[in-house]
C-alpha cells in the first residue's frame, strides 16, 4: 500500500498549471475584466451626479462603487476553481492526480494557491484601471490591507466552489447553480448601494454573505468609510474563509475522481 503524503512540489506544480492556463486563455482574462468594468462604467457614470442615500459624505458614487466592483471580480474569478475541478474530472486529469501518492489536501492547496493568484491579478488590474476614475492614490498600508481582504474573499468563495464541484459532475449544471448563487451574493453585499438602505430583514441576510465583509473591508481601506468596523470585517471574513476552505477540502477529499 502506498502512503500518501503532503507534497509541496504538488502544490507548486498545480499552481504553475493554473498560471499557464490563465495566461494562455486570453478570452477568460478579457471576460473576467469586462463584466466588472462594464458595471463600473455604467453604474459609476450613470449615477455619478446623484446623491445616494446612506453613502459617506464627501465620497463620490464612483469611489463608493470601486470596492464593490473589485469584490465582483473576485467573486466571479474564484468560481473558476470549482469549474476547473469539474473540467479536469471530465477530461480525466483529475483521475490521474488522484492516484498519485500525495494527499488530496496537497491538490486542494495547489488549486487554491492558483485561484488566489489569478484572482489577485484580476482584482489588482481592476484597481489599476479604477485609479483613473476619481480614486485618489493609495498608500502601501492601504494596499496591504486591501490585498489581505482580497485574499480572504477569494479563499472563502474558492471553498464554496469546491463544495459544489465536489458534489456535482456536470459543468453546465455547476454554471447554472453558481450564476443563481452569485447574483444574490453580489447584490446583498452592499457592493453597489449602502447596506443601510436595505430593509432590516435583508440586512440580517447580508450578514451571512462573506462578500459583505470583503467589500466593506476594502471600502474601509480605500475610502476610509465602511458599514462595520474594519476589524469586524477582517475577523468575520477570516472565519468565513477558514470554514469554507475546510469544508471545500473535506468534500473534495470525499469526492470521486470520475
- According to the model, what pLDDT value does residue 148 have? 93
What is the tally of helices (H) and strands (E) in the chain? Answer: 10, 0
- According to the model, what pLDDT value does residue 80 have? 72
Predicted TM-score of the model (pTM): 0.84
Q: What are the tens digits of pLDDT across the range 83-98?
A: 777 777 776 666 666 6
pLDDT < 50: residue spans in the chain: 1-3, 258
- According to the model, what pLDDT value does residue 234 have? 94
- According to the model, what pLDDT value does residue 46 have? 66
- According to the model, what pLDDT value does residue 213 have? 93
- According to the model, what pLDDT value does residue 2 have? 43
- According to the model, what pLDDT value does residue 201 have? 82
For residues 168 and 256, the answer to whether their CB atoms sit within 8 Å is no
Q: Residue 183's closest CA among 146, 209, 149?
A: 209
Q: Residue 80's closest CA among 106, 119, 108?
A: 119
- According to the model, what pLDDT value does residue 44 have? 65
Amino acid at each position: 500500500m502506498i502512503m500518501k503524503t503532503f507534497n509541496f512540489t504538488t502544490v507548486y506544480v498545480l499552481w504553475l498549471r493554473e498560471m499557464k492556463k490563465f495566461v494562455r486563455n486570453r478570452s477568460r482574462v478579457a471576460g473576467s475584466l469586462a463584466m466588472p468594468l462594464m458595471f463600473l462604467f455604467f453604474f459609476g457614470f450613470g449615477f455619478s451626479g446623484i446623491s445616494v442615500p446612506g453613502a459617506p459624505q464627501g465620497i463620490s458614487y464612483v469611489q463608493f462603487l470601486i470596492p464593490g466592483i473589485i469584490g465582483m471580480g473576485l467573486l466571479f474569478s474564484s468560481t473558476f476553481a470549482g469549474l476547473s475541478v469539474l473540467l479536469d474530472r471530465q477530461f480525466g486529469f483529475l483521475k490521474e492526480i488522484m492516484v498519485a501518492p500525495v494527499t488530496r489536501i496537497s491538490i486542494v492547496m495547489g488549486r487554491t494557491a492558483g485561484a488566489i493568484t489569478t484572482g489577485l491579478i484580476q482584482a489588482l488590474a481592476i484597481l489599476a484601471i479604477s485609479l483613473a476614475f476619481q480614486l485618489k492614490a493609495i498608500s502601501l498600508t492601504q494596499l496591504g490591507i486591501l490585498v489581505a481582504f482580497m485574499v480572504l474573499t477569494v479563499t472563502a468563495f474558492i471553498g464554496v466552489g469546491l463544495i459544489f464541484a465536489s458534489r456535482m459532475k456536470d459543468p453546465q449544471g455547476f454554471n447554472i447553480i453558481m450564476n443563481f448563487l452569485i447574483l444574490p451574493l453580489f447584490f446583498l453585499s452592499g457592493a453597489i448601494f449602502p447596506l443601510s438602505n436595505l430593509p432590516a430583514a435583508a440586512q440580517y441576510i447580508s450578514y451571512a454573505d462573506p462578500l459583505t465583509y470583503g467589500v466593506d473591508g476594502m471600502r474601509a481601506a480605500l475610502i476610509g468609510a465602511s458599514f462595520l468596523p474594519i476589524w469586524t470585517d477582517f475577523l468575520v471574513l477570516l472565519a468565513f474563509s477558514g470554514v469554507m476552505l475546510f469544508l471545500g477540502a473535506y468534500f473534495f477529499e470525499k469526492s470521486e475522481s470520475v
